[in-house]
Amino acid sequence: MSDAAQPATFPPAFVWGAATSAYQIEGAARENGRTPSIWDTFSHTPGKTADGDDGDIAVDHYHRYRDDVALMAELGLNAYRFSVSWPRVQPTGRGPAVQVGLDFYRRLVDELLAHGIKPAVTLYHWDLPQELEDAGGWPERDTALRFAEYAQLVGEALGDRVEQWITLNEPWCSAFLGYGSGVHAPGRTDPVAALRAAHHLNLAHGLGTSALRSVMPTRNQVAVSLNSSVVRPLSHSPADLDAARRIDDLANGVFHDPMLHGTYPATLLAATSTVTDWSYVLDGDLRTIQQPLDALGLNYYTPMLVSAADGVPDGPRADGHGASPFSPWPGADDVAFHQAPGERTEMGWTVDPDGLHELIMRYVQEAPGLPLYITENGAAYEDEVDAGGRVHDPERIAYLHGHLVAVHRAITDGADVRGYYLWSLMDNFEWAYGYAKRFGMVHVDYATLERTPKSSARWYGEAARTGALPEVPAAPAV
Ligand code: IFM
């Protein structure tokens, strides 16, 4: 409870959703004309994912979507955020759409609407058609133009029935894990390519937003989901404060400044000047990127704690994004990352609900008046099915409770937070970690693909149905 007497009660129109992404759940990787994305290629490359796991079958949502929607309805959710697989609807990344690919998403959307669940579509959750990567990928400008074409095709097909749209999910990961540290697809390790990718993802967001608006009813809302980070300095020494500011520019400013303010931070341009000259930012790009948005999506898991490293490069990275000898932070090799104190999830990420409150309040300042959604928040834990076939996950309930209390506190403090999407609806392919990390509120048995709601799903469903946070169950006696 947010105070001793009253459970936290949310506004009546609050959106209670869950989120997923195409590659992490759909499977059906070679069906109906779908071609490989960069994640198919990457996951099939030896050594890139834990146990060599891939998304070929994932949790077979492509064939089981009706049951999955029925389960969401039974739990009491009123919204579902999913992504469209680009290579399923436009296999080569250019030219006309494949009708059978679009039809899958129309059926999914119709099923959701029939169950009273509001769909929110993310256009890009990291599965670039391999052909576009072969042509240069996000470091090349043309990929942004291709994205706008793809956005238009999907907008034309679903714009009559989907009101909530998100252009990109976590462009930071696409640019800096995909082209910097290489722990994500396509696995390149080139700091210049990473910064070029960041700019072209920004451009794709701007062009994609305009393309969507050109074909959709004006009532529809367009947003972007940023994994904006809370970056804390280890101390208040000038060197540590400078390290935190540089990481903040690379984690946040590089995306939100152009999107919200039509500029790149001067401090970012200065700090990266030895890496790149930014000559790929052409006249007019920043105006294109700065499209008026209807909302902003924030994905939050954990804060970052950084310090100056006195010129000593950080060894194994402690920034929570996977081990690589290559940095995802161009021009900031002299910054050290530290484990923030406190309890950790199975990802090793520190549980810090205050960080979510801090992040929301930052965007109240950064983008006054812009409605906010928490488009991802959740935790991986080592869940086990007990002898009775149940999955008890009190740590996840505590995590969700703490973070929803933080959202509630932000609303009380004046933030216009309209909804929350739990990551994730069900256990799924956790990128380089394969199936080893379970983020779902629904357990999936990977041998049988059977779905079993965990106790967190029942807890969250009750919150969704009542609009108030239920009591957190007492931890079972050991
Ligand atoms: O699984 C991912 C998701 O695809 C993007 N945001 C973070 C999640 C947990 O790592």
Q: Cα 129 vs. chain centroid, distance in angstroms? A: 19
- Which ligand 1 atom minimizes the distance to the CA of 431? 1
Binding site membership of 376 for ligand 1 (Cβ less than 6 Å): yes
CA of 472 from ligand 1 middle (Å) equals 25
Q: What percent of the chain has pLDDT over 90?
A: 93
Report residue 323's pLDDT band, with 50, 70 and 90 as the boundaries. confident
Region 32-40 average pLDDT: 98
Binding site membership of 21 for ligand 1 (Cβ less than 6 Å): yes
Binding site membership of 430 for ligand 1 (Cβ less than 6 Å): yes
Catalytic entry in 26, 133, 140, 170: 170
Measuring CA to CA, which residue among 317, 384, 303 is closest to residue 349?
303
Region 368-389 average pLDDT: 97
Binding site membership of 307 for ligand 1 (Cβ less than 6 Å): no
- Which ligand 1 atom minimizes the distance to the CA of 21? 4
Domain residue spans in the chain?
15-304+338-466
Q: What is the pLDDT of residues 228-283, one digit of tens each?
A: 999 999 999 999 999 999 999 999 999 999 999 999 999 999 999 999 999 999 99
Cα-flanking dihedrals φ and ψ of residue 282, to 5°?
A: -90, 160
Measuring CA to CA, which residue among 42, 4, 40, 67 is closest to residue 186?
42
Q: What is residue 322's predicted lDDT score, i.e. its pLDDT?
A: 72
Residue 432 and residue 252: Cα distance in Å, rounded?
Answer: 23
Token pair for 225: 């989901």
Catalytic entry in 376, 395, 430, 471: 376
Q: What is residue 474's predicted lDDT score, i.e. its pLDDT?
A: 80
Q: What is residue 476's predicted lDDT score, i.e. its pLDDT?
A: 61
Q: Catalytic site residue 170?
A: yes
Average pLDDT, the chain: 96
Q: What is residue 273's predicted lDDT score, i.e. its pLDDT?
A: 98
Asked whether 401 and 469 are in contact (CB, 8 A), the reply is yes
Binding site membership of 68 for ligand 1 (Cβ less than 6 Å): no
- Which ligand 1 atom minimizes the distance to the CA of 24? 4
Residue 358 and residue 228: Cα distance in Å, rounded?
Answer: 11
Binding site membership of 276 for ligand 1 (Cβ less than 6 Å): no
Contacts of 469 (CB under 8 A, 6+ apart): 1, 2, 7, 8, 401, 404, 405, 408, 463
Report the residue among 226, 431, 444 best suited for mutation to probe ligand 1: largest number of ligand atoms under 8 A from its CB: 431
Q: What is residue 320's predicted lDDT score, i.e. its pLDDT?
A: 59
Binding site membership of 420 for ligand 1 (Cβ less than 6 Å): no
Binding site membership of 423 for ligand 1 (Cβ less than 6 Å): yes
Residue 105 and residue 109: Cα distance in Å, rounded?
Answer: 6
What torsion do the CA atoms of 328, 332, 335, 337 make, to the nearest 10 degrees?
A: -20
pTM (two decimals): 0.97
Residue 183 and residue 66: Cα distance in Å, rounded?
Answer: 33
Q: What is the pLDDT of residues 278-319, one digit of tens each?
A: 999 999 999 999 999 999 999 999 999 999 986 544 444 445
Q: What is residue 319's predicted lDDT score, i.e. its pLDDT?
A: 56
Residue nearest to atom 10 of ligand 1 (CA): 430
CA distances 57 to 41, 87, 184, Å, are 15, 16, 19
Binding site membership of 421 for ligand 1 (Cβ less than 6 Å): no
DSSP letter (8 states) at residue 433? G
- Checking if the pLDDT of 470 tops 60, the result is yes
Q: What is the pLDDT of residues 90-145, one digit of tens each?
A: 999 999 999 999 999 999 999 999 999 999 999 999 999 999 999 999 999 999 99
- Checking if the pLDDT of 457 tops 60, the result is yes
Residue 376 and residue 24: Cα distance in Å, rounded?
Answer: 14
Q: What is the pLDDT of residues 161-194, one digit of tens each?
A: 999 999 999 999 999 999 999 999 999 999 999 9
- Checking if the pLDDT of 448 tops 50, the result is yes
The DSSP code sequence of 123-154 is EESS--BHHHHHTT-TTSHHHHHHHHHHHHHH
- Which ligand 1 atom minimizes the distance to the CA of 423? 8
Residue nearest to atom 9 of ligand 1 (CA): 430
**CATH homologous superfamily, domain 15-304+338-466:** Glycosidases (3.20.20.80)
Q: What percent of the chain has pLDDT over 70?
A: 95
Q: What is residue 321's predicted lDDT score, i.e. its pLDDT?
A: 67
CA of 430 from ligand 1 middle (Å) equals 7
Asked whether 381 and 425 are in contact (CB, 8 A), the reply is no
Residue nearest to atom 2 of ligand 1 (CA): 430
CA of 283 from ligand 1 middle (Å) equals 34
Q: What is the pLDDT of residues 48-83, one digit of tens each?
A: 999 999 999 999 999 999 999 999 999 999 999 999
